[in-house]
Amino acid sequence: MTGQRMTPILYSFRRCPYAMRARLAVTSSGVRVELREILLRDKPPAFLAASPSGTVPCLVWDAGVVDESLDVMRWALRQADPERWLEMPEAGWSWIRRADGPFKAALDRVKYASRHPAAEVEAGRAVAIGFFTDLEAQLGEWIFDHASLADFAILPFVRQYVFIDKAWFDAQPWPKLQGWLARFLASERFGAVMVKHPVWAEGDPPLIMG
For residue range 76-133, list pLDDT tens digits in order. 999 999 999 999 999 999 999 999 999 999 999 999 999 999 999 999 999 999 999 9
- Give the pLDDT of residue 46: 96
Measured CA to CA, the distance from residue 96 to residue 205 in angstroms comes to 36
For residue range 19-67, list pLDDT tens digits in order. 999 999 999 999 999 999 999 999 999 999 999 999 999 999 999 999 9
Domain architecture of the chain: domains with CATH: 9-84+191-209 (3.40.30.10), 91-187 (1.20.1050.10)
For residue range 163-178, list pLDDT tens digits in order. 999 999 999 999 999 9
- Give the pLDDT of residue 1: 40
Where is 58: in which H helix or E strand? Answer: strand 58-61
DSSP secondary structure, 105-148, as one string: HHHHHHHTGGGS-HHHHHHHHHHHHHHHHHHHHH-SSSSSSS--
